[in-house]
Amino acid sequence: MPVPGLRIRPARDQDREVLIEMFQGLNVYEEPFAGNRRLDRAGGADSLAHAEKKVADNGGHKLVAELDDAVVGHLFMNWERHGACVRDDVKHYGYIGELFVMEAHRGKGIGRALLQEAERLTRERGFGHMLLGVLHGNAVAERAYDRFGFRPYATDLVKKIGA
């Protein structure tokens, strides 16, 4: 069901401050799962710059969700390809590197609307699938992505080694 007043559009230069705020918010949200996030504003700004570079490097998309003239969420996606072991007909895919909705606006379908636009863009490009990553323990995100049709594909494992 569409969210009244919601508009998904490309990010613009004037969105920079709110994007920094949201990237900082994403770092804060992910800290309990990852245990390694930079929580300061500079960490948000650097995270945004890193995501923007990835999008610029491969012609991806920076999308924002705007509700009543205020940016309340974002989705950054890139065009990727699997390695040599994957068949050519399914090698290319859309990768969602960043997705965030401000806490006050969660549960209203804004994330779903951003994902629907990412799916549309992926289909328009002629690719047959999308991937994204979820930090272990982030059950809320896992359930949301499951409802949207995402299924487990791979698992990254980490081993901490003393400094």
- Please give the mean pLDDT across all residues of the chain: 94
pLDDT of residue 57: 95
The structural domain count of the chain equals: 1
The sign of the torsion formed by the CA atoms of 132, 138, 141, 147 equals: positive
Residue located via tokens 């991937």: 131
Question: Residue 132's CB: how many other CB atoms inside 10 A?
Answer: 19
Residue 77 CA to residue 73 CA, distance in Å, equals: 14
Q: Are 22 and 73 in contact (CB under 8 A)?
A: yes
Residue 102 CA to residue 38 CA, distance in Å, equals: 18
How sure is the predictor about 162, in pLDDT bands with cuts at 50, 70 and 90?
confident
Whether 1 maps to a domain, the answer reads: no
Whether 63 maps to a domain, the answer reads: yes
Whether 163 maps to a domain, the answer reads: no
Instruction: Note the residue count of the chain.
Output: 163
Q: Which DSSP category does 35 fall into? A: S
Structural domain boundaries, residue 48: 6-148
Please report, for the domain that includes residue 53, its CATH number: 3.40.630.30
User: pLDDT per residue over 49-64, tens digit each?
Assistant: 999 999 999 999 999 9
Whether 159 maps to a domain, the answer reads: no
User: Is this model's pTM higher than 0.85 or not?
Assistant: yes
User: pLDDT per residue over 86-137, tens digit each?
Assistant: 999 999 999 999 999 999 999 999 999 999 999 999 999 999 999 999 999 9
Q: Comparing C-alpha atoms, which of 61, 131, 145, 123 is closest to residue 96? A: 131
Residue 79 CA to residue 91 CA, distance in Å, equals: 11
Residue 6 CA to residue 31 CA, distance in Å, equals: 29
Beta strand 6-10 with 130-132 is: unpaired
